[in-house]
Structure formats: C-alpha cells, structure tokens
Amino acid sequence: MKPKPLDLEFKEILRIVESDIGDYRKAYEIEKFIKQRIKSACEFYLRYRNKPRVLIKEHPEYVEDVKEFLDMLDNAQSDEYDSIMIHYNEWLFKLAFREVLKEG
C-alpha cells in the first residue's frame, strides 16, 4: 500500500467498535488503526517533500493541485526555487494532515 494523506475513515473505526471482539481488543484495534494511518501520512509527506513530479507520477489525482507549483518551478530564477519549494512543502503538509488540520 503506497503512502497517502491522513484519512481516519470513521466508518472503519465504527466497524471495529461494532464488532464482537472485547472492549480491550476494540481499544487496541482502534489505536493500531490510527497509528497506521498517521504513519502512512508521515511517509506520504516525507516521500513527496521536495518532489512534486514524483507526487503527480504516483498520485495523478493531484496533477491539477501541483501544476501551479511545477509551472512556477519551471520558470523560476535560481534564487526563487527555494521559496517555491517551501510553499509546495507547506501545501503538501496540509494535504497529508488535512484530517487533523481542518477546522470545525
């Protein structure tokens, strides 16, 4: 399974809660599930940090979101590259952890 942004999939947590396994095992399974999802989101961020082309190659669903960064990078002066990459990495972090960063 390739890394992906954090998605806690509450339907999956509900499935665990409603299962016939004991309360202690339910808590353990929920904890395990959440840790797996957080690990995947961390791996997602680290894999694609500073690599927008790799991101869209492996996750074409983000082509439209990353296109602006790629256009800026392709036309950037050497002193602008780092600034553009910082903005891309911030966007990527917010994507990876959108589940916990969204308000409300």
The model carries a pTM of: 0.78
**In Å, what is the CA distance from 79 to each residue of 53, 75, 85?**
20, 12, 11
Would you list the domain boundaries of the chain? 10-101
Beta strands in the chain (DSSP E): none
* pLDDT by position in tens, the chain (length 104): 677 777 777 677 777 777 777 677 777 888 888 889 899 999 999 999 999 999 999 999 999 999 999 999 999 898 899 999 999 999 999 999 998 887 65
CA distances from residue 103 to 43, 54, 98, 99 in whole angstroms, order as listed: 23, 29, 9, 9
